[in-house]
């Protein structure tokens, strides 16, 4: 699985958009970009995934650059409940039981 690089932490104001960057310069053509988050010692929660195109769901938007070497997760209107560690993971879908390789993630603190 390709390695990812994320900033260790970032702050965000409540109600504003939070833009979380992720670098994955060694990504292969068949690897997807996944985002999960973990809220204070709970089990990780799936947010969104993408291959080439930008994606949006009820939680967030995922913007992937044309060369696929980096991506940005956008939380459009951050709330206090979005305070969590966010993990960017790159892997082949379905491989090895869908295993996830977690790095350090980005610790996001949403402030009032």
Residue selected from 14, 21, 23, 32 as contacting another protein according to rule CB under 8 A: 32
CB closer to another protein out of 97 and 112: 97
CA 80 to mean position of chain CA atoms: 18
Q: Which of 65, 23, 26, 73 is nearest to 45 (CA)?
A: 73
Q: How many residues bind another protein, per CB under 8 A?
A: 23
Contact between 99 and another protein by CB under 8 A: the answer reads yes
Contact between 41 and another protein by CB under 8 A: the answer reads yes
Least CB distance to another protein at residue 3 (A) = 13
Contact between 52 and another protein by CB under 8 A: the answer reads no
Contact between 7 and another protein by CB under 8 A: the answer reads no
Angle at 17 between CA 69 and CA 33, to 5 degrees: 25
CA 50 to mean position of chain CA atoms: 10
81 touches 67 (CB < 8 A): no
């Amino acid at each position: 699985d390709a390695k990812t690089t994320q900033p260790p932490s970032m702050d965000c104001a409540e109600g504003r958009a939070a833009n979380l960057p992720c670098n994955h310069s060694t990504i292969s053509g068949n690897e997807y970009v996944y985002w999960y988050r973990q809220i204070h010692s709970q089990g990780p929660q799936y947010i969104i995934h993408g291959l080439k195109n930008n994606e949006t769901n009820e939680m967030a938007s995922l913007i992937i650059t044309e060369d696929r070497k980096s991506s940005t997760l956008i939380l459009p209107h951050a709330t206090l409940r979005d305070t969590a560690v966010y993990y960017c993971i790159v892997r082949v879908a379905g491989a090895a039981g869908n295993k996830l390789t977690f790095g350090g993630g980005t610790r996001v603190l949403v402030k009032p």
